[in-house]
Amino acid sequence: MRFNRKLDEDIAQDLSSTPKKSDAFAAAPRKPNGGPTRSVIDAWLSITGNLSSEGEVQVDGQIVGDIRCTHLTVGKDAVINGNITAEEVVVRGKVAGTIRSHRVILQDSARVESEIFHKLLSIEEGASFEGVSRMRENPMTAEVVAMQAVQAA
């Protein structure tokens, strides 16, 4: 009996020191420590509105709106109608809108109708690109600088 009583006391002590569920959620960071986060827009998902992420985004569905993230992968059947701003953009699907990125890769199944501000651009054989390619040292702010120069004149 004494052995069981000690066990009951240990269990009670463990339960009292366990953080409450609400405490765990309040203390949890917004994104996990360590590697970058990754979000996937499924092929059956359609979004109307802007999308912003501090991590990597893979789009397999449809988005009507602007996208801002670290790394964007546009899937083969994906459709994006909006502006894209990311450190790196890999396009396999269809994009209509301005792309601003340090590195842009248009793979063989890409269908792009846009203006691309880039530092590095790669277009694979079979990709379709209609628009203007503008190489810039800092493609993220290139359009803003051009617009300010036009307004000053």
* pLDDT for 121 beyond 50: yes
Structure tokens at 15: 């339960």
What pLDDT is attached to residue 37?
A: 77
Average pLDDT over residues 73-81: 97
Give the C-alpha separation, 72 to 38, whole Å: 10
pTM of the predicted structure, to 2 decimals: 0.71
pLDDT band at 101 (very low <50, low <70, confident <90, very high): very high
Give the C-alpha separation, 7 to 14, whole Å: 11
Give the C-alpha separation, 109 to 86, whole Å: 20
- String of b and e for 94-112 (b: at least 16 CB within 10 Å)? bbbbbbbbbbbbbbebbbb
Q: Where are the alpha helices (DSSP H) in the chain?
A: 2-17, 21-27, 142-152
What pLDDT is attached to residue 4?
A: 53
- String of b and e for 8-45 (b: at least 16 CB within 10 Å)? eeeeeeeeeeeeeeeeeeeeeeeeeeeeeeeeebeeee
Give the C-alpha separation, 108 to 52, whole Å: 27
123 or 137, which is more confident? 123
